[in-house]
C-alpha cells in the first residue's frame, strides 16, 4: 500500500488542496483523490478546496462539491496537497495545511520545496495525475476516478505531445482507457473545443504578439481591461501560450496575464534549448524544464526586459556549446 493510502486509512477527516488558478491536472488530481477515497472509505469526511474551476470540467465526479468558502480554521486529520510545488501556491487555503495533524504532497514539479510532512515528488512524471495513479490500487480505480486522472494527464501533456510524456505515461493512459472512458470525447470537449470568448481573447493575444531575439522568442500580454472588454475570466486564457510556442522558428514563448494593476502572471514555454524552470525560479516561481511560470511586478516592458536577460543567457550558452 502506498504512503498516501496508509495515511488516508488512518485519518477520519481529510482535506484536499491544489494550486491557485487550478488547471486540468490540478482539478483532475484533486477530484480523482476525492472520488477514490470516498468510494473506498464512505464513512470518512473528504473536502476539496480550490479556487473556482472552469465549467468545462463539470463532468468530473464531485465537481459540484468543490468548496471556495472562506477558511473556517477547521483542523483535519490529513491534508493532501496536489500539483502545488510551494505552500504559497495553495493560496487562501494554505491554513488547512498548517493546521492539519498530518500532511502529504504529491507533485511532479522539479521546483517542489518539500513543504509537507511526507512528499512524493516525481519530477519526470507527466503530471500529478500520473503520480497519483501510481499511488492508487489499479483494481480499485473506478470509471469516475479514471475520468479525472485521464483529464489531468491530457492537459499537462498537451495531449501527449510534450517532452514530459514517457512510455510509462502512455502505459498509464492505456490502463485508464481500459476502464471504458470516452477518451476521444474528453480530448475534444476539454482541450480543443473553445468558446466564442476564448477565441476572441486568443485572437487578440496573437494579433498583438511581438517576436524578438531574431524570432527565437515571442510574447503576448492580456491586461485587466482586455479581460473586462471581452467578459473573460482566467479559464478563457487556456492554450494561448501553447499557440505562441508552436510559432515557426520560436524557441521560447511568454504569455503575460495582468491579475492586478502592474502585476502579471507569467507563463513560459520552450521547445528545445531554454530551461524555463530556471528562469521562473529566479523570479520566485517554478515548474518544469519546458513549462513554468511566475508572478512579476511592473509594466509589460519591465517584465519582458527582465525575463529576456535570463533567456538570452541560456540561448547564448547553448549557441557557444554548438548545440
Strand-pair partners of 264: 258, 296
Of 237, 256, 243, nearest to 197 by C-alpha is: 237
What is this structure's pTM?
A: 0.86
Domain with 38 in it: 3-192
Residues 9 and 129 in one domain: yes
Residue after which a domain boundary falls, among 137, 160, 192: 192
Residues 49 and 178 in one domain: yes
Residues 188 and 201 in one domain: no
Residue after which a domain boundary falls, among 192, 221, 236: 192
Would you state the cell numbers that stand for residue 225, as one nine-digit string? 481591461
Residue 212's domain is classified under what CATH number? 3.10.310.30
Place of cell 488516508: 8
Residue burial 85-100, b: 16+ Cβ < 10 Å; e: rest: bbbebbbebbebbeeb
Residues 305 and 203 in one domain: yes
Domains: count for the chain: 2
Residues 38 and 117 in one domain: yes
CA-CA distance, 205 to 20, in Å (whole number)?
Answer: 23
* 124 C-beta neighbours (distance < 10 Å), count: 13
Residues 225 and 286 in one domain: yes
Q: What pLDDT is stored for residue 321 in this prediction?
A: 65
Q: What pLDDT is stored for residue 322 in this prediction?
A: 57
Would you state the cell numbers that stand for residue 116, as one nine-digit string? 509537507
- Going from the C-alpha of 108 to that of each of 16, 112, 117, 197, 286, the distances in angstroms are 17, 8, 17, 31, 11
Residues 260 and 211 in one domain: yes
Residues 279 and 216 in one domain: yes
CA-CA distance, 11 to 1, in Å (whole number)?
Answer: 15
Residues 206 and 138 in one domain: no
Residue after which a domain boundary falls, among 192, 213, 246: 192
Residues 135 and 264 in one domain: no
The tens place of each residue's pLDDT in the chain, 323 residues long, gives: 799 999 999 999 999 999 999 999 999 999 999 999 999 999 999 999 999 998 999 999 999 999 999 888 899 999 999 999 999 999 999 999 999 999 999 999 988 989 999 999 999 999 999 999 999 999 999 999 999 999 999 999 999 988 889 999 999 999 999 999 999 999 998 888 899 999 999 999 999 999 999 999 999 999 999 999 999 998 899 899 999 999 999 999 999 999 999 999 999 999 999 999 999 999 999 888 899 999 999 999 999 999 999 999 999 887 766 54
Q: What pLDDT is stored for residue 162 in this prediction?
A: 85
Of 83, 79, 91, nearest to 117 by C-alpha is: 79
Residue 23's domain is classified under what CATH number? 3.90.1640.10
Residues 208 and 284 in one domain: yes
Residues 112 and 11 in one domain: yes
Q: Mind giving me the DSSP string for 214-275?
A: TTTEEEEEE-HHHHHHHT--GGGGTTHHHHHHTSTT-SEEEEEEEEETTEEEEEEEESSS--
Place of cell 509537507: 116
For the chain, counts of helices (H) and of strands (E)? 12, 11
Amino acid at each position: 500500500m502506498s504512503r498516501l493510502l496508509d495515511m488516508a486509512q488512518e485519518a477520519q477527516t481529510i482535506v484536499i488542496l491544489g494550486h491557485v488558478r487550478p488547471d486540468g491536472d490540478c482539478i483532475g488530481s484533486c477530484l480523482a483523490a476525492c472520488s477514490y477515497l470516498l468510494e473506498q472509505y464512505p464513512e470518512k469526511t473528504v473536502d476539496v478546496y480550490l479556487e473556482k474551476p472552469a465549467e468545462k470540467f463539470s463532468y468530473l465526479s464531485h465537481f459540484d462539491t468543490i468548496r471556495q468558502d472562506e477558511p473556517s480554521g477547521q483542523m483535519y486529520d490529513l491534508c493532501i496537497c496536489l500539483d502545488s510545488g510551494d505552500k504559497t501556491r495553495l493560496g487562501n487555503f494554505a491554513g488547512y495545511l498548517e493546521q492539519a495533524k498530518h500532511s502529504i504532497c504529491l507533485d511532479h514539479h522539479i521546483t517542489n520545496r518539500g513543504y509537507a510532512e511526507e512528499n512524493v515528488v516525481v519530477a519526470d512524471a507527466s503530471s500529478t495525475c500520473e503520480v497519483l495513479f501510481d499511488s492508487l490500487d489499479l483494481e480499485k480505480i473506478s470509471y469516475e476516478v479514471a475520468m479525472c486522472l485521464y483529464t489531468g494527464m491530457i492537459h499537462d501533456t498537451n495531449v501527449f505531445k510534450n517532452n514530459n510524456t514517457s512510455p510509462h505515461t502512455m502505459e498509464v493512459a492505456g490502463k485508464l482507457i481500459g476502464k471504458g472512458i470516452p477518451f476521444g470525447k474528453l480530448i475534444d470537449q476539454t482541450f480543443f473545443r473553445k468558446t466564442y470568448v476564448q477565441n476572441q481573447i486568443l485572437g487578440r493575444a496573437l494579433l498583438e504578439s511581438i517576436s524578438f531575439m531574431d524570432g527565437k522568442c515571442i510574447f503576448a500580454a492580456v491586461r485587466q481591461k482586455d479581460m473586462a472588454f471581452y467578459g473573460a475570466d482566467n479559464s478563457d486564457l487556456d492554450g494561448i501560450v501553447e499557440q505562441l510556442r508552436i510559432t515557426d522558428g520560436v524557441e521560447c514563448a511568454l504569455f503575460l496575464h495582468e491579475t492586478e494593476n502592474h502585476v502579471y502572471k507569467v507563463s513560459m514555454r520552450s521547445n528545445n534549448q531554454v530551461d524555463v524552470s530556471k528562469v521562473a525560479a529566479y523570479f520566485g516561481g517554478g515548474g518544469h524544464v519546458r513549462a513554468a511560470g511566475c508572478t512579476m511586478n511592473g509594466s509589460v516592458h519591465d517584465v519582458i526586459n527582465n525575463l529576456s536577460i535570463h533567456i538570452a543567457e541560456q540561448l547564448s550558452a547553448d549557441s557557444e556549446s554548438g548545440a
